Structure 1
Amino acid sequence: SYALWAACPFLDSIDRQPLREVAGLKFAVTRELAAAAKIGISQVNWALADTGTLVQDSTAVEQRLVSSLPEIHIALVATDAILPDMPTLLARMHPDDSGYIAMITGPSRTADIERVLTIGVHGPSRLVIVFCDELGGAN
């Protein structure tokens, strides 16, 4: 079992060599590796305080793979990227900024016609959010 960390501004701003020596941590994201990974790690662009929603520019397929295929998603959020609500986010975004925006509000949940709730069917069964005061390359 291993963790898969998608390329992000934070990783680009640090020396990755010490991280490469961590057993079970991989950086080369492929569909096959993401599907078999226990943990996916990504950096999200914003977090909405009123709903707890994470907002991620998922134009890069690697971001989508690590945040949707592994059983556990660890999302890194810069504390200065916490916005109060959706209207504030929409005022800040421009349609040309991204081709694909993912909004994540908790682990994957779905229910059948009898309202039987199942967690983790269409995505991670667990979401861990790590807030960082200094997250290189954040917004």
Structure 2
Amino acid sequence: MVDQERREAFLQKYNNGAKIWSGGTFTGYLNLRPLLEELPISDVAEASRDYPRRYQGMPDNVYGELIHNLLSFEGYLKDRAFHIEECTIKPIIKDSSYLYQFSIRYTNKEGEEKVRTYEVARSDERNFIFFTDPLKS
């Protein structure tokens, strides 16, 4: 029953698919735990695309991996002198999957705009799945 209430609240809050947050760096939004807490359990916890890596674990472990990956990739981009255009968090609701998508939109040295995404889904009351690419892909 708790998760049904969580689903209804999530759908009511995020059904329009608008960005939850947008900024120049994820250091401006490090307190992601409340977002993880409100994420409903997905009947089928699948990402919106194929990711070569996935981590599964308790909220604190997934939170740590998520922050580590986001900030590491930002650092990687800055080391390469790429310009970060925008960092965003948005909900994805498809069929019975509820996810958050974290994206970093950046411009490389050639002026080409690219986007790197990460996704998080809840697989049961105490476990989450974090979908990611390797750092240098």
Query: TM class by shorter-chain length?
Result: under 0.3
Q: Looking at secondary structure, tell me which structure has more helix per residue.
A: 2
Q: TM-score, normalization: structure 2?
A: 0.20
Q: Looking at secondary structure, tell me which structure has more strand per residue.
A: 2
Q: Tell me: higher relative CO, structure 1 or 2? Use CA pairs within 8 A at least 6 residues apart.
A: 2
Q: TM-score, normalization: structure 1?
A: 0.20
